[in-house]
Structure 1
């Protein structure tokens, strides 16, 4: 019997960079909870962005955000993994050296950038619904950062993440979190680790867990679920670790699977 469902958001429940979820999912989440099945949104996005997407049911579900670096339920923080200051300096120096790249940093109290790209800021605020503030230097927030995100406008994130993984091995988790997003999180910040912790917290086994995803940052999570689904548009390496592949490109395909549990 399934007791826990964890789903990626961008590319799985929503087109990347949007926020208008099918409202039918809210009703399904509530009905699943009535049956004793917990729903968790597991996203590379920042907490405030994901919670905005699920606002009508925010108090009834769990949030694995920032690729597992920040895990919450209502007002309770279940996990918060932060960088050390020296690593932040090194990552920012690396990200700032990349051409045509926008970056932002995330702390438990908000999201910040010192980039001046107005078009990107508008997209992040209106598309992802991120409450992002412009400040003089993001190092002002270096005392408590859970994620540094780089948007590489002209490059494939999965390929660009490879050299960064080598460069920051042991210092940070580096993953492709979208077509152009490369995320840097503190050691141990990974959706798979966060799902394991949530399973322990809820006394749920992997066999009692269902998960959905599409990108490389979902692989650990999918491996820790007995019932794992990749959407049809998922990367091939994601499909390779999943038990099932959803048959069509309709974003409601996840919703259809959830409704079978009801």
Structure 2
């Protein structure tokens, strides 16, 4: 019996133009009628996720910032933060990368120094709450994640991810898309957050469904039985998934949920 459905956002739940599926409200009512919980699990900040689900802000359990910040009813359930030494280390290395833009995410806000138009276009897709500052040394916040953006070339694997591999071990470097790389505390990921919540809520992995498309969804798919990689997912993720869902642009998540609910009757 399915009790919890978890979905990544970009390239997974969202269809064209950064929109929820047209039948999202209908499917959410079907889940509510069956007492099945739904959670967005994303690299997006909590404020951006809550903004995307205004009708459900008080209903959903939000797994934000790739599992480093988990909230429900607008309150933090738990979080993972970077030490001051690791914050300094990441900043030192990130600022050396040419043509790469840095977002520092804290609990209060996210912080940027650049206002390059190409960067802001990408930033505004995923961050609704950020502060423009003159220097990152001005931040007074608990830091949970860095997001590095290759807004100009769209080759994040080569221009960011590969170059920052020496940081792995002290921090965790995760490829989130062709444009974004996230840097988080070691061990923190969507999968760890889900396993912690499974224990807290007394929900078994075989009672959970998860959908994803990129490497930041890898551990998430390993934390549930019904693990779905989207048809448009990268090959590495398809290898760890038990099942394949139709692509996001064909409303794959909603179609698969409907099928699962029909089979569960």
Instruction: Please say whether Structure 1 and Structure 2 have the same fold, judged by a TM-score greater than 0.5.
Output: yes
Following TM superposition, where does structure 1 have runs of at least 4 consecutive aligned residues deviating by more than 6 angstroms?
Answer: none
**Long gaps (5+) in structure 1:** none
- Deviation of 1:143 after TM superposition, in Å, equals 4.2
Instruction: Please name the residue that 1:150 is paired with.
Output: 148
TM-score, length-normalised on structure 1? Answer: 0.91
Residues matched between the structures, number: 259
Measured at CA, do residues 75 and 131 of structure 1 come closer, stay the same or move farther in structure 2, by a change above 3 Å? closer
- Deviation of 1:142 after TM superposition, in Å, equals 5.4
Alpha-carbon separation, structure 2, partners of 1:62 and 1:222:
18
Alpha-carbon separation, structure 2, partners of 1:47 and 1:133:
15
Taking the TM superposition and a 5 Å limit, the aligned residue runs for 1:70-85 are: 70-85=69-84
Aligned Cα root-mean-square deviation (Å): 1.9
- Deviation of 1:228 after TM superposition, in Å, equals 0.8
Instruction: Please name the residue that 1:90 is paired with.
Output: 89
- Preserved contact between residue 222 and residue 229 of structure 1 (Cα < 8 Å): yes
**Long gaps (5+) in structure 2:** none
Measured at CA, do residues 188 and 91 of structure 1 come closer, stay the same or move farther in structure 2, by a change above 3 Å? same
TM-score, length-normalised on structure 2? Answer: 0.91
SS of the residue corresponding to residue 196 of structure 1 reads helix
Instruction: Please name the residue that 1:113 is paired with.
Output: 112
Alpha-carbon separation, structure 2, partners of 1:256 and 1:62:
22
SS of the residue corresponding to residue 60 of structure 1 reads coil
Alpha-carbon separation, structure 1, partners of 2:218 and 2:163:
19
Alpha-carbon separation, structure 2, partners of 1:111 and 1:19:
20
Taking the TM superposition and a 5 Å limit, the aligned residue runs for 1:1-262 are: 1-14=1-14, 19-125=18-124, 127-141=125-139, 143-153=141-151, 154-159=153-158, 160-165=160-165, 167-248=166-247, 250-260=249-259, 261=261
Alpha-carbon separation, structure 2, partners of 1:68 and 1:34:
27
